[in-house]
Amino acid sequence: MGLGLLIFSLLAATLIAKEANRTVLVWATKNDLAPGELITGNDIIAVSALLPESAKNYLSASAQIIGGVVLRQISTGDLIPATAVSSSSDSFNSRLIPLTVELTDMPLGLGRGDVIDIYAIAKRDSKITEPELLAANVSVSQVLERTNSGIGSVLVILDNSQILPTLQLLSDSRIIIVRSI
């Protein structure tokens, strides 16, 4: 009889532990993701999370999100909300634009996923007379190169409406990048 009670209690404990541990596999980020970025396999990792009531709000690890477009900023290690990624690149009306910037005019450690503001200040004989905000809340897709010449290249994601005004001022302005905190 004692052996039967012991076996029964072990089975009951196993069932209770199994019921209490209802984890699901969902996607999380390995690094910061900014709006407009395409998700790659290096950006995400499947993690087990206990989400008893809110599992539907996050992307299941069985969902194919590689190649999807990030719609809002997601920080490193965060679970990826279902509303933060679109499977269609048409849902985000933007383009990748390269900017050549002096190293002293951009923050140290600037990298993919950072959100920046782009300012133009006048060079000699410039069309602009005072500093001008070209684009706000812009996502950095990639910092391409930092050379010994003091010049760096930054690939940014601009909304289609921001492209022409930005390009018009690039030729005779000095570009300053300010990182959002």
HSE of 24, CA atoms in CB hemisphere, 13 A: 16
Q: What is the pTM of this model?
A: 0.61
Same domain for 19 and 71, yes or no, is yes
Question: CA–CA separation, 154 vs 109, rounded Å?
Answer: 12
Least confident of 19-23, 113-117, 135-139: 19-23
pLDDT tens per residue, range 135-151: 888 888 888 766 677 88
**How many structural domains does the chain have?**
2
- Is 63 a member of any domain? yes
Q: Judge whether 166 and 134 are in contact, CB under 8 Å.
A: yes
Domain range for 25 is 14-90
Same domain for 97 and 40, yes or no, is no
Question: CA–CA separation, 143 vs 48, rounded Å?
Answer: 32
| Paired strand residues for 117 | 178
Residue finishing a domain among 90, 112, 140 = 90
